[in-house]
Structure 1
Amino acid sequence: MSTLEIKDLRASVTTDEGAKEILKGVNLTVKSGEIHAIMGPNGSGKSTLSYAIAGHPKYEVTGGEVLLDGENVLEMSVDERARAGLFLAMQYPVEVPGVSMSNFLRTAATAVRGDAPKLRHWVKEVKDEMAKLEISGEFADRSVNEGFSGGEKKRHEILQLALLKPKFAVLDETDSGLDVDALRVVSQAVNEVTQSTEIGVMLITHYTRILKHIHPDVVHVFADGKIVESGGKGLADELEENGYVKYIGKPEPARI
């Protein structure tokens, strides 16, 4: 059993007008096997939260802690965070021309696991996971995300998740850009990974449609840089019906 604790996390970004605080005291605890959905309006800071946890250099953490089994990951480099068990599926996956998917995946697995996976077993592992995500075998020889559709990029992110098997995964709007069929396939793959490995998940989303496939243990409302309310699936249904108006400007964050 592992625990990811976010304690009073604050972060800023530099703008033309100077530093702007985006995260204003985020408190959240996720345990192994739990799925936490984080929902909020555009500009509320949800993606900033994911990048701050992962260590994006654009965002300066100005206060708080992110503890993975008691160790503050904010004191780690990005690669150390990955080896410690953190994973980020990005909202906008980047293209890496000249690096094939197969080489990228094996290099990533070697870095995280500490040893290069044996080739025979690795090839089968990759093929099995690609089949679950309905990814054509020809994609293995293509450059990472280059020329991929939005849905193909998101499938590749979940393929990485399935192969790297982190302790905790932050899925930043994985549902954006997916049609109905792709959403079903990706959601099913996330469910399989979380159920088989007990990964803890922070699922960032605007919409409830992905929550029809991936069922969260807790739903959090994120507004003005912090969590302002938490509840069950019914809270997501309320947000779908009524939006976020009642939460904008709510002063105190919920502590989990």
Structure 2
Amino acid sequence: MNNNLLLKIDELKVSAGDRNILKGLNLEINEGETHLIMGPNGAGKSTLGNVLMGHPEYKINDGSIYFNGEDINELSVDERAKKGLFLSFQYPEEISGVTVENFLRTSKMAVTGENIPILKFQKQLKEKMDLLQIPEEYKERYLNVGFSGGEKKKNEILQMAILDPKLAILDETDSGLDVDAIKVIYEGIKTLKDGKKSFLVITHYNKILDYLDPDFVHILVDGKIVETGSADLANRIEELGYEHFKK
């Protein structure tokens, strides 16, 4: 394998219940790359994100997922997180009684296996909150409780910033947000790019190209990647529609 190869998906076939969703999907992501996955509703985009993270609802019937050269098909969600995988939720859950700060510190310690002193963590948290333009008082609020859609999505990006994964999978982080919120989120992501961290961004909108410059764009139709190209491919989708790629 390529020394810089971070993720390799080989002929992945996945089902949920009696539905076959992914039907022989192949994908490779190197360190430091940003990949966009685009496709119509029901194509399997969110399924791909969930399967990479080990969601128990989905069954891998065939194929392999390699992360850093290791087959992770059988690993649990927490084991994958410790390896450096992160998935942002399309619909983040509200958790009453748990503050944002406590949740993030506990998550960070669980992933790293290290005890992080409160003052040291608070300094890290403030830096990341400033970066994402999140008011400091939000850390005292219960996780996502009473948050607007934009605040919930910003909080997902804050989690990503704190956990510092090798591969961040962002599942329609931009859906349902106004232009200002989208800009803050993607500007934040851009700032977090360090040449080593990789991103797999699942999206419906080629508007993302206003903020991110992806290395590759993939079109996912009916459980398979049917075309891969540069950022121009996203513009072709705008012109031609997904029907053009359903061959």
Q: Same fold (TM over 0.5)?
A: yes
Q: Deviations over 1:110-141 (max 9, x none)?
A: 01111022322211110111111111222111
What's the % identity of the aligned pairs? 48
Q: Decide which of 13, 19, 22 is 1:10's aligned counterpart.
A: 13
Deviation at 1:176, TM superposition (A): 0.8
Q: Aligned partners of 1:241 and 1:121: how far apart in 2?
A: 50
Partner of 1:25: 24
Count of aligned pairs between the two proteins: 244
Unpaired segments ≥5 residues, structure 1 = 251-256
* DSSP-derived class of the 1:49 partner: helix
Partner of 2:45: 46
Q: Aligned partners of 2:180 and 2:120: how far apart in 1?
A: 29
Q: Deviations over 1:79-116 (max 9, x none)?
A: 00000010001111111121111110000100111102
Q: Deviations over 1:194-249 (max 9, x none)?
A: 2x26211111101111121011000000000010000011110111122101112x
Unpaired segments ≥5 residues, structure 2 = none
Q: Aligned partners of 2:195 and 2:244: how far apart in 1?
A: 37
Q: Deviations over 1:4-63 (max 9, x none)?
A: 11111111112xxxx110000110000110001010001101000000111111111111
Moved more, 175-184 or 228-237: 175-184
Partner of 1:116: 115
CA contact (8 A) 1:165 1:197 kept: no
CA contact (8 A) 1:6 1:66 kept: yes
Amino acid in the other structure paired with 1:61: I
Partner of 1:235: 233
CA contact (8 A) 1:101 1:141 kept: yes
Q: Aligned partners of 1:136 and 1:32: how far apart in 2?
A: 32
Q: Aligned partners of 2:174 and 2:75: how far apart in 1?
A: 29
Q: Aligned partners of 2:123 and 2:175: how far apart in 1?
A: 29
Q: Aligned partners of 1:51 and 1:244: how far apart in 2?
A: 23
Structure 1 consecutive aligned stretches of length 4 or more whose deviation exceeds 3 Å: none
* DSSP-derived class of the 1:92 partner: coil
Amino acid in the other structure paired with 1:127: K
Q: Aligned partners of 1:122 and 1:197: how far apart in 2?
A: 24
Amino acid in the other structure paired with 2:159: Q
Deviation at 1:74, TM superposition (A): 1.5
Q: CA RMSD in A?
A: 1.1
CA contact (8 A) 2:5 2:28 kept: no
TM-score when scaled to structure 2? 0.96
Q: Aligned partners of 1:189 and 1:64: how far apart in 2?
A: 34
Q: Aligned partners of 2:206 and 2:30: how far apart in 1?
A: 22
Q: Aligned partners of 1:246 and 1:207: how far apart in 2?
A: 17
CA contact (8 A) 1:169 1:201 kept: yes
Amino acid in the other structure paired with 1:226: K
CA contact (8 A) 2:217 2:231 kept: yes
Partner of 1:94: 93
Q: Decide which of 227, 243, 246 is 1:245's aligned counterpart.
A: 243
